[in-house]
Structure 1
Amino acid sequence: MSPVVLAFLMINGAVFALWIWLGQSPFMLDNFLVSADALRAGRWWTLLASEFSHLLFIHFFLNMYVLATFGPIVEKTIGSRRFLGFYLAAAIVASLGHAAVSAFLLGHPELPALGASGAISGVILLFAFLYPEARLLLLGIIPMPALVGAAVFVGLDVVGLVAQTEGGGLPIGHGAHLGGALTGTLYYLLVIRPLLVHRSTGPTDFGDVATWRRRIEEQHLLEIRKRDW
């Protein structure tokens, strides 16, 4: 397990334990949920705190499973320092995405959100751009290249968000997912891709993408299921 991912797993575990210990107390509700109203009230730390927060075990388990699956590969590819900055940026943009969607598209600025899935969506997209041919099992049964799977993942969130704007859909933070996915896409295009293109010009601490691509191709299919996470 890579160090930053391990630290994130531990932080998520600690906050989950806080939810079990304190329950839905005013302290937890005020500090570990993000909403447009919370940001208007000046609780800006919830942009990050909510992305390490899970109230239900199944929510916590699925998010940590996906993070532990994709996170170490991405971290070892781009380096721990870059991964740390990227993940935190994806978390913030994901929370902003939820706040913007709930306030301006759904008309419910009070709607709270929590969970790491926004930031993890960014990790999935970055993984897909780094290793587009890696095979994933969508829904556990449908094999497809990572980049195609990521596109399907984003497409489902777009469809879900449209359904929510029409009064339907599921209680899923599509705005957060799309915000994280946008961060992963832009980070690859603006930061990582230039490093890959110019890697031969001199020494760099950037990871060996070719080596990791070979390792992934030699492994069994990676599995990712589109769930309510």
Structure 2
Amino acid sequence: MRKLSAVNVIVAINILVFCLWYVMPTEFMFYNFLVSYTGLTEGRIWTLITSVFSHNSFFHIFVNMYVLYGFGQAMESVMGTKRFVSFYLLAGILASLTHSLVSAYIIHDPDLPALGASGAVAGLILLFSLLFPREKILLLGIIPLPAIFGALVFVGLDIWGLVSQARGTSILPIGHGAHLGGAFTGLIFYFFTKRKTSIE
């Protein structure tokens, strides 16, 4: 019997939570599946991870799951299931935490909520790009680029987007802070793994 991949399980959980947004009371979903600085200070620590599996629009979940499936399958085969899951959850948690801190101290809106797998996926993309910098990826699903250049473009756009949000000139509801937190996790994980390997 073929082993069920962690990526498939993660996608299934995301789909389940997506469905919950349409059958559960809105207040319940807001309380338990959105992360914000205010929510964390009120003790809803679990939202650091539950929000990572939470989407309430079809376009949002479709894009995130499409990218997760593509990069996740490759990374799970390289890292092994246990390390892959550990990294994915860590990237997601740190992305949620980064969003919350950025919202409170840079954007000055501690009530700003976030949800979605984008931060964890950003960590996967950056880690993949550092491990396989010359592999071709499709920027915006269209433009072929070496993975490392594509990752730099994504990070650059998120930095620009965060600066715009801090200045109050951005109207797009994108969690740039979460993306950067996830990407930073990928960067640290790569150098930690590389250093450990060189020592051994």
Unaligned 5+ runs, structure 2: none
Aligned length: 197
- Structure 1 unmatched ranges of 5 or more: 202-229
Match of 2:40, SS state, is helix
Shift of 1:138: 1.2
Q: What SS class does the counterpart of residue 34 from structure 1 fall into? A: coil
Relative to structure 2, which stretch is displaced further, 137-146 or 165-174? Answer: 137-146
The question of whether the paired residues in 2 share the 8 Å contact of 1:47 and 1:92 is answered with yes
After superposition, residues 32-111 of structure 1 pair within 5 angstroms as 32-111=33-112
Residues 2 and 121 (structure 1 numbering): CA distance in 2 closer, same or farther, change over 3 Å?
A: farther
Q: Is the 8 A contact 1:135 1:143 kept in 2?
A: yes
Corresponding residue for residue 12 of structure 1? 14
- In the alignment, is the contact (CA less than 8 A) between 1:2 and 1:75 conserved in 2? no
Name the CA shift for 1:164/1:140 in 2 (closer, same or farther; >3 Å).
Answer: same
- Return the offset for 1:152: 0.6
Give me the TM-score of the superposition, normalised by structure 2. Answer: 0.94
Is the contact between residue 2 and residue 72 of structure 1 (CA under 8 Å) also seen in structure 2? no
- The aligned residue for residue 179 of structure 1 is 181
Give, in angstroms, the shift of residue 181 of structure 1. Answer: 0.1
Shift of 1:141: 3.2
Larger Rg: 1
Instruction: Give 1:113-124 correspondences, 5 Å limit.
Output: 113-124=114-125
SS in structure 2 of the partner of residue 144 of structure 1: strand
In structure 2, how many angstroms separate the alpha carbons of the residues matched to 1:77 and 1:6? 16
TM-score, normalised to structure 1, is 0.83
* Deviation (angstroms), 1:196: 5.0
Structure 1 residue 2, shift from structure 2 partner: 6.2
Find the aligned partners of 2:62 and 2:22 in 1 and give their Cα distance: 14
Supply the AA of the counterpart residue of 1:138: L
CA shift digits 1:37-73 (9 cap, x unpaired):
0000000000000000000011011100000000010
SS at match of 2:34: coil
Instruction: State the Cα RMSD in Å.
Output: 1.4
- Structure 1 position 195, deviation (Å): 5.4
Counterpart in 1 of 2:131? 130
Q: Percent identity?
A: 53
Contact 1:103 1:109 in 2 (8 A): yes
Q: Is the 8 A contact 1:138 1:149 kept in 2?
A: yes
